[in-house]
């Protein structure tokens, strides 16, 4: 279901939107597609940040395990 809304944009941004929206059915379709892409990217960024936080919390232990594995692989 679509809901009509109103937003306020700077004039230069609206001109740019209209330039790109010409390739789409209308301005609303263009903005919806762009917003969906932007939100999806924001979600991925948040997930990546959480993953990086987990890795960093366990980095010392993981690095030690990697060093141990490499030590077994060294041929004298």
Domain spans in the chain, listed from the N-terminal domain onward: 27-73
Cα–Cα distance measured from residue 1 to residue 4, given in angstroms and rounded to the nearest whole number: 10
User: Are 24 and 31 in contact, with CB atoms under 8 Å apart?
Assistant: no
Alpha helices in 1-76 (DSSP H): 11-21, 27-57, 59-73
pLDDT at 74: 65
What pTM, to 2 d.p., does this model score? 0.71
pLDDT value, residue 71: 85
Over its length of 76 residues, how does the chain's per-residue pLDDT go in tens digits? 999 999 999 999 999 999 999 999 999 999 999 999 999 999 999 999 999 999 999 999 999 999 988 888 866 6
User: Coil, helix or strand for 1?
Assistant: coil
């Amino acid at each position: 279901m679509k809901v009509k809304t109103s937003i306020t944009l700077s004039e230069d941004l609206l001109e740019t939107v209209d330039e790109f929206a010409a390739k789409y059915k209308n301005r609303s379709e263009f903005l919806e597609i762009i917003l969906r892409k932007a939100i999806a990217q924001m979600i991925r960024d948040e997930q990546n940040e959480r993953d990086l936080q987990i890795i960093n919390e366990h980095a010392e232990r993981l690095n030690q395990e990697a060093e141990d594995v490499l030590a077994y692989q060294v041929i004298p």
